[in-house]
Structure 1
Amino acid sequence: MQQSPFFGQIDYQPIDLISITAGGRYTHEKKTFEGGQQDLNGFNYKLFGCSDANGNVTPNGPFPLAPITCFQGLSYPDPSNPVRVYVPGVNRKSFNNFSPKIGIQLHPADRLLVYGSWSKGYKTGGWTTRLTNPQGNFAPDFNEEKATTWEFGVKSTFLDRRLQVNAAAFTTDYKDIQLNIQIGTSPTIANAGNARIRGIELEVVAEPVDGFRINTSLGYIDAVYTSVSAAAAAVGGANAFQAGTLVGTSLPKTPKLKLNISPRYKLGLGNGGALVLLGDYTHTSSVWNDTQRTFLLQRVPSDIFNANLTYQDPHDSWTLTIGATNLTDKRFLTAGSSNLADGIIYGTYNRPREWYARVGFKF
């Protein structure tokens, strides 16, 4: 891959009330890829008993195709190599993108900032580089995805900096989203469609008394498809196992609601050292873990508690921390995929309750 990025930013404050930011990034990419994946144990070649280019047949295949070749019957891409899965040859792609950003900040009072911004983002395209089964005489590729975002917000501090309140609202127009869809038995990256994302975020940091601080954040996101690509629609319809990839439905890995509360208390000791007690609570609403919204893979709403206690030595040269994560041992799926063509649905669970100890040194 060859990449040539150029970027820059200018900040200008004509008067005390207003400051302006303008910037951008230009990216030029050239990519090449040659896949050499082969089914070295010849599983399908043996399973279907198809003949090779020379007419040789694997005996006793339970689903005999002979005298049809694997190239003809199973879309194997290389007639001279009956076990080659990936299409031979060098694949080439090039991308050019300019992603600008413009922002304006208002300073109506001390410790008060009101801002707005417009920006574009870009993620490069490429190929699915590993296949379960061949997909014909082409390398499955995907194009770049792009996003255009408007954001408005406020940042403020009050009460002699004992209270900080930040809030933001945003909307994103998301084009050609790259997601993993199932084509036959092969998980394949493809441009699944377009989406509209809207959200709000609130963050509050309060220190009501010396030594005690509490951080709270709340986020709400509404992310839905506004269109679905032909490839995603072809394999993403609703069925008995899946809700489907449909216009108006939510994106995967996007919880509507997320809440975090993290209190911290620091207690000074007589020897000059300190004990720091930190707690952490996170609530996350239900999430679809895959593009096709497989029912068995849906992540349930979760509440996770973590905590630790740290001793700081009087000279602040070392610390000792003991703690635990996922105190209630809540288990849920964090990722997963379905391969209905093979009759398989599989997923990965979060980590169980864990205890730890950590020693840190400053030099």
Structure 2
Amino acid sequence: MGRIRNERGVRGVSKVRLGGAVALGAIMLAPHHAVAQDSENRGPGAPAQAQTEGYDEIIVTARKRAENIQSTPISITAVSAAQLESKNAVDLTAIQNAAPGVTIRAGGGTSGAGFTPLISIRGLGQTDYTINTDPAVGIYIDGVYLGRSLGSILDLADVERVEVLRGPQGTLFGRNSIGGAVSVVSKAPSFSETSGTLSLTGGSREFLQARGSLNLPITETLALRVSGMARHREGYVDALQYDDFKLGGEKVWGARAALRFQPTPTLTIDLSVDHTKRNDTPAPVVALRLGDVSEEQSGPTGQPSTFFNSGRGPAATAVLPWISTDAPRCATDAAFRRTSPTCFGDAWLGGTTGSNSVWFNRAGERIRPENTFSVTGYGGTITLETGIGTFKSITSYREFESTFFNDLDYSPFVILHNNHEEPRDGGAPFGQRQFSQELQLVGTAFDRLDYVFGGYYFHEKGEEASDTLVPGNVPAAVAAASAPFLPYFSTSSRSIDNMSKALYAQFTFAATERLKLTAGVRYTDETKDYEVVQFRAVGNPTVATGRQGTNIWTPMFNIAWQATDDVMAYANYSEGYRAGGFAGRFAGTLTSPLPSFDPEYVTSYELGLKSSLFDRRLIFNLSAYQMDYDDIQVSATTPNLPGFVLNLAAARFRGFEAEMRAILGGGFMMTGSAGYIHKELTRIRPGTTVDGGSNIATVITTDHQLPGPAWQLNGELSHRLEFAGGGRLDTAFDVHFESADVNAVTNRSIIRQGAYAEAGARIAYTLPSDRLTLTLGARNLFDKSYFTQKSMTSVSGAAFGAVARPREVYLQATYRFGS
């Protein structure tokens, strides 16, 4: 039974979510691009292996125990360290080119920062970055859940493998994993010998990257592993109002140290610390249309932009430079508005390679912005082999702090800016601190019953202070007093204090040698405390608070049938939920009590087939699923509440996934994956509307499309040529395709993204010593121009999109020593 406790004016709800019935879905294929052992990989840096041999086993830990991926009856893709190296993967976004149904993109549209990602699996994801918004896909690093999406596009510097689990993971992984989970496993220290790698890369637009790792056995029971990386990338969208300033630039560095102590054969203690720091230019976002953003447009859009163009706002003292010099003509003459640089309109469009944004701080000073992000993590894992199973304790503390700036009018004017400034600039940063503790017991009883027991505790605190610069929205009553502070309007300070506790258990019973039955359940008790303080230039601050509690059971059931030694079929039923919360943005004064929204729920039914054929030279996996998506959290307007996140809809998703990898002979290999999803809205609360950046409100009906591509395809053809005298030459060509995406439930054509395909290629020579590999490669080989996201804002009346990185050619040298 699930129960939601709400306080301070928040509506209470009861739900029963513990249901049963294993049902269907059908079809998935697997370019399990990965291996826990690098010997499987045929890319640069992998040991030579006869091309007629089959694939090695891939070992994953998705179900808290080490298992062959082909014997794990869930939808999972694994990507190995060697494969990541051969693709020269920069960060976690590379995973979407290796797994079906997965989207991982750098964000920036609504935040202005490239490290606010868009991550979704099977069409379920997070589109907002605010401190009070929970993800729909769980990101884990070495078993530790990252509570906020900010900064979760991890750099893949010293990674053993990445596991991608598709579908709700509410039993073993818990809350906020309704789409699935991405688990990053770092390389652990080894007692074998001193070894390491050093990789140097240079490429287009001043792309410079260095990565290195060192494994150092200190004694027979103590080993240390250290790694580091640094990357510089020049931006690729011109800031047209600045000299020598480009958007989309990156400066990142990070380091990690891990210590392994094994005092006895049954006890292992792992300690780690990591730190990453980045200083970026603003995200590569360009305006698509300004002012008149809708096909049905009947006048200038957005109150602040209308005030600017008309020279008349709520305040009687509209003054330069916060209004147009050609007001009110900019408001009354549509043709003039769209062509004159004195107006807020399309005259300030810069195409896909330029932006006319100018950034200001809260003091009204023009700045050259720098977006920063800093994260530090500490971890400790104790593994003890006992007579009843393997006991594991995972303890972690992580914290991050960030500052970033966003010009949401994409013009030289100050119509709408949102900034997260450092304290010395008068604002407060965006930050979070989290502590988590997990205990696991994994074992086997009676030779046929596998079990997992676990307990989990998570506590986080976070703050976000967002300065709003919107001089056209000052209330008339305080206009004169506010004038000296313009363009500053207000600061919304949001803080969270969230706690989650859970117990879970999962059992797998071998009914016969070929038939296994699995059942599991998780109980979660979660409490969220939220406070918003709104400061304005004039007047006293206002405060609103809210508390929400959730008690919920999330079960799963699975049947796996090993039809032959090479073919397995399975059926899976699972449930998951994403936590509820409270409104974060307020156009005017705070609403008290705070509007709240309840958790959203997903129930998934899946059928799958996994096969290893022709002596493991062909791996072919299929899955099909149906997901019932209830109480969807939608940012919309209803007759009683304007523009908040509410539980407004229900939907049904149906799809299939297919993955394959094949050794073709003659040195050739091929991998491929396909994912298809059909989303259907089955219920909308009557009267629900979304303005989507237009002054024409859209009434949402069940005929509207939900955002996300229907099709995602990946393919790679690679070849290895081994020379008689030693050494080898590896070549590869890969393609990633996505079908069209409406980007928002309003289905506006201006923010619709057409279908696109992006290709990559590389050629690598490894010397006979197997120590040095030289690689020449290209990302976005054919320089395809497309957007990673598009959006609209009704406040400033702007449609905008984040531009994908253009072609990037690189040369890399990788040196290895030791094993």
How would you bin the TM-score normalised by the shorter chain? 0.7 to 0.9
Deviations 1:201-250 (A, max 9, x none): 1222221105321111122111111112357x133699897876321332
Give the structure 1 partner of residue 794 of structure 2.
Answer: 340
Deviates more, 1:209-218 or 1:297-306: 209-218
Instruction: Indicate if the aligned counterparts of 1:219 and 1:259 stay in contact, CA closer than 8 A.
Output: yes
What are the within-5 Å matches in structure 2 for residues 72-221 of structure 1? 81=540, 84=541, 88-134=543-589, 136-181=591-636, 188-221=644-677
5+ residue gaps in structure 1?
A: 43-79
> What is the distance in 2 between the residues matched to 1:302 and 1:147?
30
Give the structure 2 partner of residue 280 of structure 1.
Answer: 734
Post-superposition shift, 1:315? Answer: 4.4
Change (3 A) 1:256 1:89: closer
Give the structure 2 partner of residue 252 of structure 1.
Answer: 707
Give the structure 1 partner of residue 809 of structure 2.
Answer: 355
Would you say 1:312 and 2:766 are equivalent positions? Answer: yes
**Alignment-mate amino acid for residue 600 of structure 2:** E
Between the two proteins, what is the percent identity of the paired residues? Answer: 30
Deviations 1:49-83 (A, max 9, x none): xxxxxxxxxxxxxxxxxxxxxxxxxxxxxxx62xx
Post-superposition shift, 1:304? Answer: 0.9
Give the structure 1 partner of residue 754 of structure 2.
Answer: 300
> What is the distance in 1 between the residues matched to 2:733 and 2:521?
40
Post-superposition shift, 1:131? Answer: 3.8
Post-superposition shift, 1:332? Answer: 2.1
Post-superposition shift, 1:330? Answer: 1.7
Instruction: Indicate if the aligned counterparts of 2:762 and 2:775 stay in contact, CA closer than 8 A.
Output: yes
Specify the SS of the correspondent of 1:109: coil
Give the structure 1 partner of residue 514 of structure 2.
Answer: 17
Instruction: Indicate if the aligned counterparts of 2:567 and 2:611 stay in contact, CA closer than 8 A.
Output: yes
> What is the distance in 2 between the residues matched to 1:359 and 1:96?
53
Instruction: Give the structure, 1 or 2, with the largest relative contact order (CA under 8 Å, sep 6 or more).
Output: 2
Deviations 1:177-213 (A, max 9, x none): 2344479xx9743334110000011222221105321
Post-superposition shift, 1:288? Answer: 1.4
Deviations 1:148-178 (A, max 9, x none): 0000011112212122221111000001223
Change (3 A) 1:39 1:228: farther
Would you say 1:38 and 2:535 are equivalent positions? Answer: yes
> What is the distance in 1 between the residues matched to 2:697 and 2:762?
40
Would you say 1:223 and 2:720 are equivalent positions? Answer: no
Change (3 A) 1:110 1:140: same
Change (3 A) 1:212 1:179: farther
Post-superposition shift, 1:347? Answer: 2.2
Instruction: Indicate if the aligned counterparts of 1:236 and 1:245 stay in contact, CA closer than 8 A.
Output: no
Deviations 1:98-145 (A, max 9, x none): 111100011121210011011101111122334444453343432111
> What is the distance in 2 between the residues matched to 1:131 and 1:336?
22
Number of matched pairs: 318
Instruction: Indicate if the aligned counterparts of 1:162 and 1:207 stay in contact, CA closer than 8 A.
Output: yes
**Alignment-mate amino acid for residue 205 of structure 1:** R
Specify the SS of the correspondent of 2:563: strand
> What is the distance in 2 between the residues matched to 1:210 and 1:235?
57
**Alignment-mate amino acid for residue 287 of structure 1:** D
Would you say 1:4 and 2:501 are equivalent positions? Answer: yes
Change (3 A) 1:187 1:212: farther
Q: TM-score, normalised by structure 1?
A: 0.78
Deviations 1:292-313 (A, max 9, x none): 2222111101111111223334
Specify the SS of the correspondent of 2:502: strand
Q: TM-score, normalised by structure 2?
A: 0.36
> What is the distance in 2 between the residues matched to 1:251 and 1:335?
14
**C-alpha RMSD of matched pairs (Å):** 2.8
Give the structure 2 partner of residue 54 of structure 1.
Answer: none
